[in-house]
Copies of this chain bind each other. A is one copy, B any other.
Amino acid sequence: MLPSMGEPTQKATAERILDAAEALFAKRGYDGTSLADVTDRVGIRGPSLYNHFKNKRELYTAMLARRLDPFFELLDNLVATPPSAARSQDSLESMLRHHVAHPNLARLIQHAALAEGDQLELLIERWYRPFFERVGKLFPELTSVSDAQAADAAAVIMGFNNMILGYVTLAPLHGRLLDLDFSKERTVESYLRFLTKP
């Protein structure tokens, strides 16, 4: 086969840039990563990157969109089925498995929360607010509460989000300490039992 030219090669380069950016932003955070780090990792020169992404912020946004937009499709599918205890369990399992399959996503979210910069604002306004609307539909018991119960409902949301994101972001600590691999099916299943126990 002849090497393909034009559009297909462009697409491949954009994907490789997104892959490199995701790995670097997930490890070092937004401020700890330069566009030169990204192009070095991809093995291209700087100007090639600008053919695909106008600047660092646009690259960061595109990289998040690639991982977070499918997350919403997943939640929308769950919301479309009738509420039940089984659906609530399935929702937690789907969310955890999505993060296990794409572990950089939780790391990126955690980095943004720690840095408290513009990246956190972007994450909240574009993804997390609509995400939490869906979560509210999946767990209606959390939204139909009085003011007096609102703090308790918020505690439940925080607790589950902490358990799901922390499963990935603290995996390097827990893995060495407890001698386990967070991505192994047996580890995931035990964690799911803990997460979904009534």
Contact = CB atoms under 8 A, between A and B. Distances in A.
Contact of A159 (B111, B114, B191): B191
Interface stretch (A54-62, A72-80, A82-90, A171-179): A171-179
Contact of A110 (B120, B159, B169): B169
Contacts of A165: 162, 166, 170
Interface string A153-171: 0111111011101110111
A173 B169 CA distance: 15
B152 A194 contact: yes
A14 interface: no
Contacts of A177: 124, 128-129, 132
B161 A120 contact: no
Contact of A190 (B116, B152, B186): B152
A31 interface: yes
Contacts of A115: 27-28
A9 B137 CA distance: 58
A65 interface: no
Contact of A151 (B28, B132, B186): B186
Interface in A1-54: 26-29, 31-32
Contacts of A193: 152, 155
Contacts of A113: 169-173
Contact of A161 (B157, B166, B195): B166
